[in-house]
Amino acid sequence: MKKLFYLIYLLTACSLIAQNNNEQIELRIENDKLVLVDKYYTSGLFLSYKKSLDNNFVFKKNNKNALQLNIVLGNETYTPSNLMSSNSKDFDRPYAGWFFLKTELGSVKNNTALFVAVETGITGKEALSGKLQTWVHDFLNINDNPTWFQEIEFKFLVNLKAKYILNKTIGKYQAFQYNIESSIGTKDIFLENGISYVFGKFNNLKYSSRIGVIDRNTVNELFGFINFGYRYVVHNTLIQGSLDYKDTFFTINRAPHIIKFKAGIVFKTARNTFRFIYNFNTKETPIANSHAYGTLSYSRDF
């Protein structure tokens, strides 16, 4: 608790001495315990640093767009639904941990946005996901400690990602957003598209927390959104193992077609942004079930 207090104090101090809202720190937590389950993508912890750019950097900077650099350090934890078994025949997906660093650059205009990213990270015990989950279960006195039997083995993985967003505003308080996203590399290969309905008070896309853009105008936002998406998966190393399929430990085939649903509310003040999101997706392996989890995030501009 003291560490959390010191972190909040440091962020507040930084904001007081800053002259412009052109940087941001975000802490995001994803966990299925928020919706009373404990399996599959069971937790994620992410720390992000974002900065608005005033000069050309890969993309050309002009009066029509906003450039932003995003750096994310994250850890994701995946488990089968049967947490207590040490027999892989009981598993509907492998245990897997993913510890990564993602560097992303975005160019955002009034009604369009393009983000490109490089993501690198490691799997296996070295990702520390198993130790982190076991520690949390012990700390909270949760008795069903996962066995982490035959966890996806150590790998160093690299992915390239791109996302394009098209916005259509309808009146003052409604908008539709279409997004298409692709990923290719040694971690996962997929193509995803989706559409969001946004309602409430929100800024122009170029300066909106709808897509995580830093708002230098410090205009408050309060809006909700509903998103439906579809992902076609070619390969997922956290489920299937390496692209050569020569892993020693337990792996399983992926479900190629995934339907996704997301709904949430976002509240932004001059420097603070809060997000509360419910996430749902259909099964990711042929013998798994659908899954849901919650997202909580807090970001501070300075």
User: Does position 269 have pLDDT exceeding 50, yes or no?
Assistant: yes
* % residues pLDDT > 90 (the chain): 82
Number of domains in the chain: 1
> SS3 of 238, please?
helix
Residue 205 has pLDDT above 60, yes or no: yes
- Which residue segment(s) compose the domain that 180 sits in? 2-301
pLDDT at 286 over 60: yes
What is the per-residue pLDDT for 136? 84
What distance in Å separates the CA atoms of residue 287 and residue 283, rounded to the nearest whole number?
Answer: 8
> What residues are paired with 103 via a beta bridge?
71, 118
DSSP one-letter code for 206: G
pTM: 0.90
Angle at 124 between CA 103 and CA 279, to 5 degrees: 60
Which pLDDT score, from 0 to 100, does residue 63 have? 87
Confidence of residue 283 (pLDDT cuts 50, 70, 90): very high
Burial profile 6-43: b = 16 or more Cβ within 10 angstroms, e = fewer: eeeeebeeebeeeeebbbbbbbbebbbebeeebbbbbb
Per the CB < 8 A criterion, the answer to whether 37 and 67 are in contact is: no
Mean pLDDT of the chain: 92
Structure confidence at residue 67 (pLDDT) = 95
One-letter amino acid for residue 18 of the chain: A
Nearest-CA neighbor of 157 among 78, 241, 77? 241
What pLDDT is stored for residue 18 in this prediction?
42
- Span of 5-19, 116-130, 220-234 with lowest mean pLDDT: 5-19
CB distance 204 to 12 below 8 Å = no
Query: Could you tell me how many helices (H) and strands (E) the chain has, helices first?
Result: 3, 12
Going by pLDDT thresholds of 50, 70 and 90, the confidence category of residue 15 is very low
Q: How confident is the model at residue 218 (pLDDT cuts 50, 70, 90)?
A: low
Sign of the alpha-carbon torsion through 233, 69, 215, 27: positive
pLDDT in tens, 24-81: 999 999 999 999 999 999 999 999 999 999 999 888 898 889 999 999 999 999 999 9
pLDDT for position 77: 98
| Percent of residues, the chain, with pLDDT higher than 70 | 93
Domain of residue 198, CATH code:
2.40.128.140
Cβ proximity of 291 and 281 under 8 Å? yes
Q: Can you tell me the mean pLDDT for 292-301?
A: 97
DSSP state letters, 150-173: TPPPP-EEEEEEEEEEEEEEETTT
pLDDT tens, position by position, 153-198? 999 999 999 999 999 999 899 999 999 999 999 999 999 999 999 9
What sign results for the dihedral spanned by CA atoms 263, 112, 21, 175? negative
Per-residue pLDDT band for 143 (boundaries 50, 70, 90) equals: confident
